[in-house]
A = this chain, B = another copy of it.
Amino acid sequence: MWQIDQVTLRLFIAVCEEGTIARAAEREFIAPSAVSKRLADLEALVDVALLSRSQRGVRATAAGEALLRHARLIMRGHERMQAELSQYAAGARGTCACWRTYRRWSSFCPRPCPNS
């Protein structure tokens, strides 16, 4: 891992909300070991402890809570992005006939295209 990806961000949010890696893994349909490894890699990447482990679960450290706030903002940004794009996909905005028919720009697409 060379940069924080939003798969890890979503897993981290789930872990903080569920309180244990095991429950977060179940909620996200992934093995607990995979979650554990992603979290360890994340902590190695940012070089800061994000979770305080115990036998009853995990808890975010101060740095972990800071990351949690940013992660939620970023995920909200993703939701907004996908919401707007789905409007285009539905044809409500600016998708021309050639794309709706062929799912790609082709010579059949009249130029100048309304989206270009």
When distances are taken between beta carbons in the complex, the residues of chain B under 8 Å from A59 are 116
Is A70 close to B, CB under 8 A?
yes
- Chain A contact residues: helix, strand, loop or mixed: helix
The answer on a CB contact under 8 Å between B53 and A89 is: no
Across the interface, which residues of B come within 8 angstroms of A82, CB to CB? 4, 46
- Known contacts A61-B115, A93-B63, A115-B63, A49 near B99 by CB under 8 Å: yes
- With contacts A49-B104, A63-B93, A88-B62 known, is A77 near B81, CB below 8 A? no
Decide yes or no whether A84 CB sits under 8 A from chain B.
Answer: yes
Kindly identify which residue among B53, B63, B74, B81 contacts A94, using a CB–CB cutoff of 8 Å: B63
* B contact residues around A22 at 8 Å (CB): none
Cα A94 to Cα B74 in complex, Å, equals: 23
Given contacts A46-B89, A81-B4, A81-B71, contact A95 B52 (CB under 8 A): no
